[in-house]
Every structure is written in C-alpha cells, then in structure tokens.
Amino acid sequence: MKHRLAPITLALTLLVATAHAQQQPLAPTGRWAHQGVGSAPTPPMGWSSWNAFHMDLTEQRVLDSAQVIVDTGLATAGYRNINIDDGWWRQRRASDGRMQVRTNLFPSAGTGGAAGTSLRPFTDKIHAMGLKAGLYSDIGRNACSQAYNTDSPNLPEGSQAEREVGLMDNFERDIALYFGDWNFDFIKVDGCGLSSYGKDRPPVTSGRFREFGPTVVEGNANQSDMDGARALYGRVTQALRSVRPRGDYVLSVCLWGAANVRSWGAEVGTMWRTSRDIAPSFSQMLHNFDTVATREFYAGPGRWNDPDMLEIGNGEFDGSHLLEARAHMGLWAIVAAPLMIGTDLSKASPALIDVLKAPEVVAINQDPAGNQGVLAYADSDRQILVKTLADGRKAVLLFNRTGSPAKFTLTAEHMKMDATAPIALRDAWARADAGTFTDKREFELKPREALLFTATGKRLLPRGYFVSERPGNVYVARDGIRALEQDPIVYRALASWATTDNGGTRPAYAGWGAPRADSTPYDQALSVQRQAFRHGIGALADSRLQVQVPAGSQRFVARVGVDDSTRGKSAAVSFEVWGDGRRLAATAPAKFNQPARELSTDLRGVKLIELIARQHGADTTGPVVVTWGDARIE
Ligand code: GLA
C-alpha cells in the first residue's frame, strides 16, 4: 500500500485509548477459544502476483510462474497456492452485481453466456496442475489500486457502481461466486476500502468514488473503528463458512497491522498482516519482521502472523544477494510466517529456487507443532530466536542485522537445554552436521547474515517443558491492555513510498503490552522482588491465557508475582489456574516488591488450563505487570 500515511497521521501516532471492546472477559470458559477460520495447520505457502508484477498481472504470467513451481519441485516442497492479487477485475455487472473479469489479461475468462466472464477455466487449469488457486478482494467498496495505482490501465471500469468491486454490500454474493462457481481455495481481503476513501482523499475529491469512512486509519488505532473492521471481516468468515462448510479455504486478512488487528486477526482470519507492505529492501524487511517477532503467543496451528509476502528474487534479495535472500527466508521460517513467493519465477536463477526450496529450512517453517520462534536474545543489532519443533528438537536462528561482522555466543540456556550435556547442531542450509558443543559456542556472522540450525540436546527440564517453549499451545483470550499503545521496538524503516518531509517515522502498530514469552510485555527481563526468571510468561494484570495441556501431563508449576518493572505499583494481583473450567489453584493478592510465590497444581486428566492474573482495585500509576516465572507443565 502506498502513500497512505499523511504527515498529519504520522504526528498522531503515540496514543492512549480506552479499552478495546473485543476483549473477552476474565472469566474462564474451559473451552479453547480459537474457533479456527479455514484450514492451515501449518503456515500457508505459495506464490502471489503482487510483489512480482503489481498491476501488470496477466494470466500467462501467473501460469508461467505456476509451471516453474511444478517443474522445479517448489510445489512438492509445499508452495501450492497460486494467488492472483489486485488487478484482475473489470467491473461489477450493473444488472445483477456479478463480478466481471478483465479478459484482456485473463483470456480464458471470456466464456460468454449468461455469466459473461468466469475465472473457472483458470482455477481448473491451476487445479489440474495439482495446485490451489487464490483470489484477491477488498473489505470495502473499492480496492487499493483504485486509490494508489491511478495510472494503471488495468483498473476497474464503468460507472461508479460498476467500479465498486470490493466485498462491502456483496459479501455473500461474491464469496459464493469466488468459492462456489469459480472454485477458489484462498482469498486475500485487503482493507483500502476502509482507509483510503475518506472525504478528503483524492479518489473521493476527484468525484470518481463514493466516500467511505475512513473507519481504519493506518498508524492510528485510536482513530480506527476496530470493532467495525472486525465485524466486516467476520462477514467474510461467515460467508466462507456457509459456502465451504468443510473449512477448506484460507482467509488472509490484509489490514497492515492497523486497527490493532495483530490482537484480533485470529478471530476472523487464517492469517493476518501485521505490518505495512514489504519492499525489496533489507531495512523494510527488518521492519516487517519486527512486527511479528514479539507476537509469539498470537500464532499457532491454523492462525498465523503474516509479515507479508517474500521479496526473495527482488531488489536487495535478488540472485546477486543470496546471503540476504537466505536471511529473509530464515527469518520467515523461524517465526512460522506464511511463505508466499513474490517474484517472477520464470526469471529466477536455480540458486534462488534453492533458497526457496531448502528442505530443512521449509521443514522448520512447516513444523506441525506450529510454534513461532521466541526471541532468546535481542539487541538492536543481533537476535537469537528459538523455535520448539514437534519432535522436541529446537530450531535456532542467529541474525546479524547490521552492515558489519558481529560476534555471537549461543548458550544452552538460550535453547532451554542442559549446559552440562552435549548439544549437536545441524546446519539447515547446508543440510549437514555442524558440530557438537557443551554450554556455549561462539560464532562470527557476516553483515546481514542469518545462520539457521536445528539443535539436539538434553532438555533443561528433565520432565515437561516451559509454557514459553510452546507458544503455539497458548491463546491470548484477554491481554489486559487498557490503553492502546504503539509498539516502540519495531524497526522504523522509511517506507519505500515515503519521504522525510515530516516529523519522522513513528511507531505505527498497536498491541504493545501483549503477553510475551520469557519477557515482560514491555520487553524487560522477568523479575519479581529481584528474583530473576530467564523462563516464564510476562503479562499485564487482568489477562487470561489459555494453554493446551498435552495428554499425560501431571503438574503445572510457576512462581508468580508483580514484576519489578511494573508501571502500576499500588494494586494487588492474585493468580489463578483453572483446568477445564474448574478452579485448581490460586494465590492471595500480592503487590509490587513482594516475593514470588509458588503456584502449583495437579493436572492429571486436564486438557486446557487458563492462567488468570486478577487485579484488585484500580492502579492510577499505570498498568500492573505480572510474571509467571518458570511457568511449566510437567
Ligand atoms: C495493498 C496490500 C498489498 C497489495 C496491494 C494491491 O497495498 O497490502 O499486499 O495487495 O494492496 O493493490
């Protein structure tokens, strides 16, 4: 999306808001709250036309890339969704509202007859290749291209009503057409119709488009109608559920991290964009990556944070930048991001195809446990992320974000492994063993390099695991955030379409204060009355986390208290553990600077626990930060 942040909007980004209404209550339900939208047990993989061709999309170009996907084995590697992005539509037919396809671009759609045009011949071809087909629409009346690609010859045509190609007012009709008659498997639903058609915006002042809202303001969650946006996406979810009751579809919510979608995307979509559009530059890639890196508790099987499509093959990630291409791929793999190729594959070198196809890297991304990698170490220059795999191994990524070589020390503790036992590393790119060490190992990384390993060792916990090791088993039913704040630790890259003729690139994404693995919600080390916890969960008071409990588990144990970094120092907090809707254990209320207390309970036969931190009384000094130190399931 381009030119979307007016300077005035940028100036308004630091904000305080009232509680967001979609928060579920603190009362435990005993039922896993994530209902699931569509079907994507592992992150969706495929190819999309946008980063490769933008508005110069043609059926032939899509089919050419699809053919490369089959011929090179990328399909076998898992890249199966072939997605048409913006630019495919001609108009909504005046007589009956049926969408018409741009047949100069999609010749096979010119079927004639009562339907006029149809993308069914296209999806039939894609399906015959053993692939799946994806389409693009907008949640509002008009699309992004109509606001931002005004020179394109491929924009919708006709009267104002005919050019209203988005889903609004047509949810059921369009979804029935796309997933019924046309047989698509995947849809990306963009949000420009909600954000870019306010009365002062060029598409509207030109007199060519109907005014709407804006109900979503990028970079300003206060000015966004979160509940309204969520309800509209909910209409798409509903329409999909009725056309595809078996759940065989993917709904990709494209709201660029706006309107606090990072917190509610899983309620209405299979995956949701956490940031503005990626661009083929390293700094923009860092920005997009950062918008998911601290959101580990929001992803899991069937629900995925989406830092946007891959730029591998383009710009700073092209065939002469294989090190950067591998870094981009490794980062998307370790955070379990959807892998959508965004390059013209007919021009991609075998070396680039190998980056995309790398079997052990893809396997880390597609691991069935669906855990997003957790930051085990971070400064502004270096990061270490660790992802727990289904078989108990760890995937570990070391990332040098800078333009200079950087030294790293990887420790057993980073991987929650025993420092006295040998740890065997395997290089996921080289697909070769990379040596064994105990306790710690030194590395020197090249500028912008990311190393990716799998590690096998003895677990730090002889029995069971820390809850923070398996974020895919956790669902944030209530985050405890009362006043929306923008996440200040996302790298502030200048957007490719922006300039510096304003006050600066400000933090742009709400959700700061959400629960974190091995960190407080405000990115501090966990600590209760000076007792430090390297492992645990940080959250705000008045939060409720659901945790799936594997069969055979016996106990939940944690040391709990108000964290030393709390902003609110006066209110007391009690900690409760509920199992399948029954209260299992609780602490008396405690305040800042009181010692951590042990909370321990029998879990035999329990399938779901809910961890509740309940605040007693208001705290005028600020949000109360709590720590579930060493929270573990044994
Ligand atoms: C928005 C989206 C992009 C792409 C374009 C198409 O900017 O975020 O991913 O779909 O629209 O116009």
The string of pLDDT tens digits covering residues 137-184 is 999 999 999 999 999 999 999 999 999 999 999 999 999 999 999 999
The protein residue whose alpha carbon is closest to atom 3 in ligand 1 is 1
H or E element in which residue 128 lies: helix 120-128
% of the chain residues with pLDDT over 90: 95
String of DSSP letters for 377-414: EE-SSEEEEEEE-TTS-EEEEEEE-SSS-EEEEEETGG
Query: 190 and 210 in contact (C-beta within 8 Å)?
Result: no
- Alpha-carbon dihedral angle through residues 76, 78, 81, 87, given to the nearest 10 degrees: -100
Q: How far is CA 401 from CA 264, 339, 363, 453, 629, in A?
A: 29, 21, 24, 18, 30
DSSP, collapsed to helix, strand or coil, labels residue 369 as coil
Residue 145 CA to ligand 1 centre (angstroms): 8
Q: Which whole number is the average pLDDT over 233-260?
A: 98
Q: What span, in angstroms and rounded, lies between the C-alpha atoms of 26 and 574?
A: 13
The protein residue whose alpha carbon is closest to atom 2 in ligand 1 is 1
% of the chain residues with pLDDT over 70: 96
CA geometry: angle 560, 294, 221, nearest 5 deg: 105
DSSP, collapsed to helix, strand or coil, labels residue 419 as coil
Q: What local confidence, expressed as pLDDT, does residue 24 receive? A: 78
Neighbours of 20 (CB within 10 A): 20
Q: What local confidence, expressed as pLDDT, does residue 18 receive? A: 37
Name the residue of 190, 255, 287, 496 whose CB sits within 8 Å of the most ligand 1 atoms, as the mutation to test its pocket: 190
The protein residue whose alpha carbon is closest to atom 1 in ligand 1 is 1
Query: 507 and 43 in contact (C-beta within 8 Å)?
Result: no
Q: How far is CA 574 from CA 67, 422, 495, in A?
A: 59, 40, 44
- List pLDDT tens digits, range 266-296: 999 999 999 999 999 999 999 999 999 999 9
Residue 51 CA to ligand 1 centre (angstroms): 9
Q: What local confidence, expressed as pLDDT, does residue 28 receive? A: 97
Examine the pLDDT at 244 and tell me if it is beyond 70.
yes
The protein residue whose alpha carbon is closest to atom 7 in ligand 1 is 1
Taking all residues of the chain, what is their mean pLDDT, rounded to a whole number?
95
Contacts of residue 456, Cβ cutoff 8 Å, sequence gap at least 6: 393, 423, 424, 426
- List pLDDT tens digits, range 362-406: 999 999 999 999 999 999 999 999 999 999 999 999 999 999 999
Instruction: Report the nearest atom of ligand 1 relative to the CA of 273.
Output: 8
Query: 340 and 252 in contact (C-beta within 8 Å)?
Result: no
Q: What span, in angstroms and rounded, lies between the C-alpha atoms of 387 and 471?
A: 9
Q: How confident is the model at residue 333 (pLDDT cuts 50, 70, 90)?
A: very high
Q: What span, in angstroms and rounded, lies between the C-alpha atoms of 629 and 174?
A: 49
Q: What local confidence, expressed as pLDDT, does residue 6 receive? A: 38
Q: Which whole number is the average pLDDT over 327-339?
A: 99
Residue 614 CA to ligand 1 centre (angstroms): 41
Q: What span, in angstroms and rounded, lies between the C-alpha atoms of 1 and 322?
A: 26
Examine the pLDDT at 20 and tell me if it is beyond 90.
no
Judging by DSSP bridges, how do beta strands 186-190 and 250-254 pair with one another?
parallel
The DSSP bridge partners found for residue 558 are 599
Name the residue of 144, 197, 278 whose CB sits within 8 Å of the most ligand 1 atoms, as the mutation to test its pocket: 144
The per-residue b/e assignment along 550-568, b for 16 or more CB within 10 angstroms, e otherwise, is eeebeebbbbbbbbbbbeb
Q: Which whole number is the average pLDDT over 122-126?
A: 98
Instruction: Report the nearest atom of ligand 1 relative to the CA of 309.
Output: 9
Q: Which whole number is the average pLDDT over 535-555?
A: 98
- List pLDDT tens digits, range 21-30: 446 799 999 9
H or E element in which residue 272 lies: strand 271-273
The protein residue whose alpha carbon is closest to atom 5 in ligand 1 is 1
Q: Which two structure tokens, joined as six digits, stand for 592?
A: 């800042």
- Ligand 1 residue neighbourhood (C-beta within 6 Å): 1, 50, 85-86, 144-145, 190, 254, 256, 277
Residue 57 CA to ligand 1 centre (angstroms): 13
DSSP letter assigned to residue 209: S
- List pLDDT tens digits, range 36-62: 999 999 999 999 999 999 999 999 999
Q: What span, in angstroms and rounded, lies between the C-alpha atoms of 476 and 212?
A: 32
Residue 192 CA to ligand 1 centre (angstroms): 8
Residue 177 CA to ligand 1 centre (angstroms): 22
- Count the residues in the chain: 634
Q: How far is CA 378 from CA 410, 489, 511, 623, in A?
A: 12, 11, 19, 24
Examine the pLDDT at 14 and tell me if it is beyond 50.
no
- Bond before 156 cis per omega within 30 degrees: no
Q: How far is CA 88 from CA 56, 255, 455, 477, 479, in A?
A: 10, 20, 45, 38, 39
Residue 109 CA to ligand 1 centre (angstroms): 23
Examine the pLDDT at 2 and tell me if it is beyond 70.
no
Instruction: Report the nearest atom of ligand 1 relative to the CA of 136.
Output: 10
The overall longest dimension of the chain from CA atoms, in Å, is 76
- List pLDDT tens digits, range 86-110: 999 999 999 999 999 999 999 999 9
Query: 364 and 428 in contact (C-beta within 8 Å)?
Result: yes
H or E element in which residue 101 lies: strand 99-101
Higher-pLDDT residue of 148 and 5 is 148
Q: What span, in angstroms and rounded, lies between the C-alpha atoms of 303 and 317?
A: 27
Examine the pLDDT at 9 and tell me if it is beyond 50.
no
Instruction: Report the nearest atom of ligand 1 relative to the CA of 1.
Output: 7
Examine the pLDDT at 518 and tell me if it is beyond 60.
yes
Q: What local confidence, expressed as pLDDT, does residue 587 receive? A: 98
Instruction: Report the nearest atom of ligand 1 relative to the CA of 277.
Output: 8
Residue 308 CA to ligand 1 centre (angstroms): 10
Q: What local confidence, expressed as pLDDT, does residue 16 receive? A: 31
The DSSP bridge partners found for residue 537 are 517, 628
Q: Which two structure tokens, joined as six digits, stand for 56?
A: 């110069």
Q: What local confidence, expressed as pLDDT, does residue 23 receive? A: 67
Examine the pLDDT at 300 and tell me if it is beyond 80.
yes
DSSP letter assigned to residue 463: S
Q: What span, in angstroms and rounded, lies between the C-alpha atoms of 279 and 35?
A: 33
